[in-house]
Amino acid sequence: MRIAVLLATLCLTGPASAQSVQLGAEGSAFNPLTIAAFDEMAPYTLDQFFAETHGVDVRTPVTFLVPGHFGLHVASDAAPSTGATVVFGFHQEATQSQPRAYLEDIQITGFGLPLFEDAENPVHARRIYAASYLETELFPQWASRFEQAEIYAIEAIELGNAVGALQLVAGYYDQDAGDNMMLRAVILPHPDRISGYMALASINLDLVPVTNPESLAQTLTGQLLSSWQFQ
């Protein structure tokens, strides 16, 4: 099993209900990494009300913030056909000179993680379990759909009040869209419940030039994940 430290510089080659907010100057490419402060960080909650409204299973309530800005289109899809709990898509709004452009998306779904209460270090044991799942099960399934798929790192990370969070960072080429992409797969364990979440973020590296951990955190999906708060 590979559990690596994310390098300071990464070598990167390689909706049912919608809400709209806006971002970037007319005719310019929107780069979220250059935004000092977003116009809006809208709270979004997954709880029993959400579950009953959309007919999905939400075992652990959580709230996070969804970034919005002039020129940015944000679409949310509750209970999509993928089986996720909710999906958010981020696009640069169309201008007179350019069509709408895909930037990032994130799928959030429930994920069960044993507590390993008898382990000497339960948090470490949960991370080992999560790392094995991401590397041996999730990534091979993902990589089978795309070209040039390569794992860059599997590492522990701190996100909101999740305890023992772990992420897999990988690159791939989307041959259908013609885009160089990044996959960020994150396991977000609840501190004392088996029921947590998994988030799968896809980032268009041709428009969102992630090169290091700091720029990864500045992405739209990165800011959403950084605000993660279990209730």
pLDDT tens for residues 50-94? 999 999 999 999 999 999 988 899 999 998 888 999 999 999 998
For residue 59, give both structure tokens: 């075992």
Q: Which letter, b or e, does each residue of 125-156 get, where b requires 16 or more Cβ atoms within 10 Å of its Cβ? A: bbbbbbbebbbeebbeebbeebeebebbbbbe
Q: Are strands 166-174 and 147-156 parallel, antiparallel or unpaired?
A: antiparallel
Task: Give the pLDDT mean for 164-172.
Answer: 97
**Helix, coil or strand: residue 59:** coil
pLDDT at position 6 is: 35
Q: CB-based contacts of 196: which residues, under 8 Å, 6+ apart?
A: 60, 110, 111, 112, 113, 162, 187, 188, 189, 190
For residue 138, give both structure tokens: 């999730």
pLDDT tens for residues 173-228? 999 999 999 999 999 999 999 999 999 999 999 999 999 999 999 999 999 999 99
69-73, 95-99, 119-123: which is most confident: 119-123
For residue 217, give both structure tokens: 């955190």
| Model confidence band, residue 29 (pLDDT cutoffs 50, 70, 90) | low
